Amino acid sequence: MQESVHEKVGHLFRHEAGRMAAVLTRLLGVQAWEEAEDIVQDTLLQALGSWKLKGIPDNPSAWLYTVARRKAVDKLRQRRMQEQHHAVIGQALHSEYTLSPAVQQLFLDHEIEDSQLRMIFACCHPSIAYEAQLALILKTLCGLSVGEIAQSFRTNEETIGKRLYRAREKIREEKIALEVPLPAALPARLDAVLHAIYLLFNEGYHSAHPDKLIRHELCAEAIRLALLLLKNPVTALPVVYALLALMCFQASREEARTAEDGSMVLLKNQDRSRWNGALIKKAEHFLEISATGNEISAYHVEASIASCHARAATFEAIAWNRIVQLYNILETIKPGPIVALNRAIAIGYASTPAAGVEALKAIPHMQDDYLCLSALGDFYAADQAFVEARSSYERALTQVPTTAGRTLLQRKLAALPLG
């Protein structure tokens, strides 16, 4: 029972903590961010203690919101400083008679969703550094750990910790009002919002967790947040449709990426009958709508690359030359080592393994990266350069952070001819 309770609370933390914090911040005021986080933590700790004794309730999410709501009401009764709250709920909070109903209203499903999206936009305040905006969203509203955020940015935990600390100090010292901007100003903050959603999805799809290959709940949460943007005509823009197309294409392959024993299945070995056809159709629909705009974003290009994989009946039938062309475009929009890595891999499949090796070796500062080393090993093995392949895999094995990654590399090593 104890283990199942811990697992359940951990899952709910990922799924509900950001939403609860967003609602509580609307109630307590944006400057009371830390108070809102404290209530969330207290609620989850209370769940751990109560559920160990009484068992997990039939509707654990409702239990959490009920407890958090009561704690919020208690906090508001203690403070009695309603003039500092949002004007929309300020009047209702003045009266003890209307206090509880006003809080109850903000905990309705549609208000919870609205509150979370409001706070995501609020975090994208122009006075806060862009990367700190992303870290705030991922940590406070999406429930990622500092380590997971560091992995997303390909940096260390100390750097992310400093970004979060500086952002919160800036908010406190400069009394920055984390309020949702007027509709006309929303598009200016949309890039950061979409970037945060993209990073959240990637953490689910390429999990940094040492023992979890895919974290489906994070992928689903990212898609849910993007779909919320479509409900507002101001943010229902082609770039949002492009990101949704990309995530749906990727999510359609989730089940096929994992074998029965939990190990990783590479794209070329995946059973395409296990791909989610309904999600692929949705992705194609979103991609078509995204083409109605006048601008091409990185999400458009990445979604187009994903569609090349989805449309091919087999791995061998993938239009690799087309994918190389798309990566050439992506490098001009979003230059970086991961884009260069994926482009080099595409070159290897479009041309020859030797061409892939050459392209990988030309990427600056990637020669000790386990992803690059693993790809080098693959192309060396395909070119029957088995000594070089073994060396690359062994070097990658010392760097790979996940159990699934280590298992895959060990299998690749075992498949190499001896000698």
pLDDT at 345: 97
> How many other CB atoms sit within 10 Å of the CB of residue 289?
17
Q: What percent of the chain lies above the pLDDT cut of 70?
A: 82
Domain boundaries, the chain: 1-107
Interatomic CA distance for residues 131 and 58, integer angstroms:
40
What mean pLDDT is predicted for residues 212-222?
A: 77
Q: How confident is the model at residue 262 (pLDDT cuts 50, 70, 90)?
A: confident
pLDDT at 80: 52
Work out the burial of residue 31: count CB atoms within 10 Å of its CB; fewer than 13 is exposed, 13-18 middle, 19 or more buried. middle
Where helices occur in 174-251 by DSSP H, the ranges are 186-205, 216-230, 238-251
The CA–CA distances, whole Å, from 308 to 285, 314, 326 equal 15, 11, 10
> Which one of 1-10, 54-63, 335-344 scores highest in mean pLDDT?
335-344
> How many other CB atoms sit within 10 Å of the CB of residue 367?
12
Q: 95-99, 192-196, 223-227, 343-347 — which is least confidently predicted? A: 95-99
> Which one of 30-34, 144-148, 391-395 scores highest in mean pLDDT?
391-395
Q: What is the average pLDDT value for the chain, to the nearest integer?
A: 82
What mean pLDDT is predicted for residues 401-407?
A: 84
**Which one has a higher pLDDT value, 236 or 66?**
236
Give pLDDT tens digits for 114-134: 667 777 888 888 888 899 999
Q: 37-41, 105-109, 296-300, 328-332 — which is least confidently predicted? A: 105-109
Annotate 14-49 with DSSP letters as a single string.
HHHHHHHHHHHHHHH-GGGHHHHHHHHHHHHHHHHH
In the chain, the amino acid numbered 51 is W
Q: 8-22, 164-178, 367-381 — which is least confidently predicted? A: 8-22
Residue 95, pLDDT > 50, answer: no
What mean pLDDT is predicted for residues 276-305?
A: 94
**Which one has a higher pLDDT value, 25 or 350?**
350
pLDDT at 106: 43
312-335 b/e with 16+ CB inside 10 Å = b? eeeeeebbbeebbbbbeebeeeee
What mean pLDDT is predicted for residues 333-359?
A: 96
